[in-house]
């Protein structure tokens, strides 16, 4: 029988996990509304240092092995699935709460009771869904075929794009998405970015990661709901991804900030549009950072629109490479500092040898005398 665990801390409710993690601090208890918790969101919660997560939706998917719940419990975070979303009405931000097993209490009063996701049970359920993944694959395949019919523009190249200030022609492009291992991949790609100077494209929150890594994004693409205001004001060209019918919530936000921008109405996701912009505008290579690179990651995202991303990859596949592939194949060029240090060591070694060898000192004096004559110096 599992041991009942007690945790306590300030309640931090937020229906959108990607927004909530920005204001979490170590010791908080996150209250989320996130069905089929994906890996990226779980990694953000772990990085924030929360002690517990109360999910008002079902954390584990029924048909595919989403990694979010497993990562949380393996990190020692107390994960409870609540039966409904009443906690959003009962709790204010910062309320001190205690969680005893699955019971959520405030000042000794039980507000709601949920189901604790124990590490052993989560691991066993995840393994079972891996073994029975056939249904999820079938659903993903059907969804992909639907997108091929409904979103022909992504495959046919009929997407209408405005004229951009950013120059992609015959240059590599680095498209950064806030996704799996995106910060680690950026760190690994430092030599590549230093040597090739690619066009840096941030997809919403991916633009924050570019700046945090010490670079300047050339373009930001998305609905602008995740990029920080300071990032939007960094000087990058702003491209709002709008719905095919022209609705663009991000446009209104940028108008309020007084920032110039362009609008691209298109189906699919913002990362699809970013990759297609780079391809259509002449990039000779597109390196994706944080984007889904295998079928399990596509399904783990738990978003219907991920099929369009799969199709986009098929269309631009000949110039698209994942960050991990680049890091394995690219051989960094030596920087100026190592070459300069090597030359200095060589010169110092030569001087020491001359000084230590009487016969060579005479030769060195003769060379120095001839050099002064050639330069017109006094003898």
* Within a domain: 220: yes
Using the predicted structure, report yes or no on whether residue 371 has a pLDDT greater than 80: no
Do the beta carbons of residue 313 and residue 320 sit within 8 Å? Answer: yes
Q: Tens digit of pLDDT for each residue in 97-127? A: 999 999 999 999 999 999 999 999 999 888 8
Task: Average the pLDDT over 1-25 and give the result.
Answer: 89
186 and 68 in one domain? no
- CA 153 to CA 338: how far, in whole Å? 49
The DSSP letter of residue 85 is S
206 backbone φψ class: left, alpha, beta (φ>0; ψ -120 to 50):
alpha
376 compared with 23, residue with greater pLDDT: 23
Domain of 148?
Answer: 135-329
358 and 313 in one domain? no
Radius of gyration of the chain (CA): 28
Return the axis-axis angle of helices 358-374 and 336-356, rounded to nearest 10°: 120
- Predicted pLDDT of residue 5: 85
Task: State which of 27-36, 321-330, 346-355, 360-369 shows the largest mean pLDDT.
Answer: 27-36
Using the predicted structure, report yes or no on whether residue 46 has a pLDDT greater than 70: yes
- Predicted pLDDT of residue 359: 62
Using the predicted structure, report yes or no on whether residue 57 has a pLDDT greater than 90: yes
101 and 141 in one domain? no
* Domain endpoint, select from 83, 101, 129: 129
* Within a domain: 322: yes
209 and 306 in one domain? yes
Number of domains in the chain: 3
- Predicted pLDDT of residue 243: 85
117 and 175 in one domain? no
**Residue 132 confidence class, pLDDT cut points 50, 70, 90:** low
272 and 325 in one domain? yes
Average per-residue pLDDT for the chain: 83
- CA 358 to CA 320: how far, in whole Å? 62
Q: Tens digit of pLDDT for each residue in 316-343? A: 878 888 887 776 666 666 555 665 666 6
Q: Which of 23-27, 56-60, 205-209, 350-354 has the lowest mean pLDDT?
A: 350-354
44 and 153 in one domain? no
pTM: 0.61
* Closest by CA position to 56, among listed 97, 6, 10, 115: 115
* Within a domain: 109: yes
* Within a domain: 1: no
**What percentage of the chain carries pLDDT values higher than 90?**
51
Q: Which of 155-164, 238-247, 358-367 has the lowest mean pLDDT?
A: 358-367
Q: Which of 59-68, 161-170, 312-321, 332-341 has the lowest mean pLDDT?
A: 332-341
Q: Tens digit of pLDDT for each residue in 190-230? A: 999 999 999 999 999 999 999 999 999 999 999 998 899 99
- Predicted pLDDT of residue 125: 86
* Within a domain: 368: yes
- Predicted pLDDT of residue 129: 72
* Within a domain: 161: yes
* Closest by CA position to 114, among listed 52, 179, 194: 52
* Domain endpoint, select from 100, 129, 158: 129
**Residue 156 confidence class, pLDDT cut points 50, 70, 90:** low
Q: Which of 4-13, 286-295, 368-377 has the lowest mean pLDDT?
A: 368-377
**Residue 65 confidence class, pLDDT cut points 50, 70, 90:** confident
* Within a domain: 379: no
99 and 243 in one domain? no
Task: Average the pLDDT over 363-372 and give the result.
Answer: 67
262 and 185 in one domain? yes
Q: Which residues contact 327 (CB under 8 A, 6 or more apart)?
A: 185, 188, 189, 192
Task: Average the pLDDT over 122-145 and give the result.
Answer: 70
- CA 266 to CA 249: how far, in whole Å? 14
What is the CATH classification number for the domain harbouring 46? Answer: 3.20.19.10
150 and 11 in one domain? no
349 and 253 in one domain? no
**Residue 136 confidence class, pLDDT cut points 50, 70, 90:** low
- CA 220 to CA 208: how far, in whole Å? 10
121 and 34 in one domain? yes
Task: Average the pLDDT over 133-158 and give the result.
Answer: 60
**Residue 85 confidence class, pLDDT cut points 50, 70, 90:** very high
* Domain endpoint, select from 106, 129, 152: 129
Tokens of 256: 């309020």
DSSP-derived secondary structure for 99-110 = EETTEEEETTEE
């Amino acid at each position: 029988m599992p041991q009942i665990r007690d945790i306590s801390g300030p309640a931090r409710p937020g229906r959108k996990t990607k927004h909530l993690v920005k204001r979490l601090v170590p010791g908080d208890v996150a209250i989320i509304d996130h069905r089929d918790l994906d890996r990226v969101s779980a990694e953000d919660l772990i990085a924030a240092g929360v002690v517990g997560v109360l999910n008002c939706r079902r954390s584990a998917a029924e048909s595919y092995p989403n990694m979010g719940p497993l990562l949380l419990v393996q990190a020692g975070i107390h994960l409870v699935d609540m039966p409904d979303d009443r906690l959003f009405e009962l709790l204010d931000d910062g309320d001190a709460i205690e969680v005893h097993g699955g019971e959520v209490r405030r000042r000794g009063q039980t507000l709601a009771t949920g189901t604790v996701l124990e590490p052993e049970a989560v691991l066993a359920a995840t393994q079972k869904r891996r073994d029975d993944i056939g249904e999820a694959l079938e659903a993903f395949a059907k969804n992909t075929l639907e997108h091929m019919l409904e979103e022909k523009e992504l495959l046919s190249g009929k997407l209408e794009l405005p004229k951009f200030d950013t120059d992609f022609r015959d240059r590599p492009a680095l498209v950064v998405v806030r996704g799996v291992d995106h910060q680690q991949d950026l760190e690994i790609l430092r030599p590549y970015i230093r040597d090739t100077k690619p066009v840096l494209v941030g997809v919403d929150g991916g633009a924050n990661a570019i700046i945090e890594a010490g670079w300047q994004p050339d373009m930001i693409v998305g609905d602008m709901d995740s990029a920080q205001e300071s990032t939007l004001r960094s000087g990058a060209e702003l491209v709002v991804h709008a719905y095919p019918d022209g609705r663009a919530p991000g446009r209104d936000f940028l108008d309020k900030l007084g920032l110039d921008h362009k609008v691209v109405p298109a189906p699919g996701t913002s990362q699809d549009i970013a990759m297609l912009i780079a391809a259509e505008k002449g990039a000779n290579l597109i390196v994706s950072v944080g984007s889904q690179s295998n079928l399990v990651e596509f399904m783990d995202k738990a978003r219907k629109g991920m099929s369009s991303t799969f199709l986009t990859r098929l269309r631009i596949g000949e110039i698209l490479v994942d960050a991990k592939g680049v890091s394995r194949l690219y051989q960094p060029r030596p920087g100026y500092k190592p070459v300069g240090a090597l030359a200095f060591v060589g010169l110092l070694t030569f001087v020491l040898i001359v000084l230590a060898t009487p016969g060579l000192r005479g030769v060195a004096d003769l060379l120095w005398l001839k050099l002064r004559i050639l330069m017109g110096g006094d003898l």
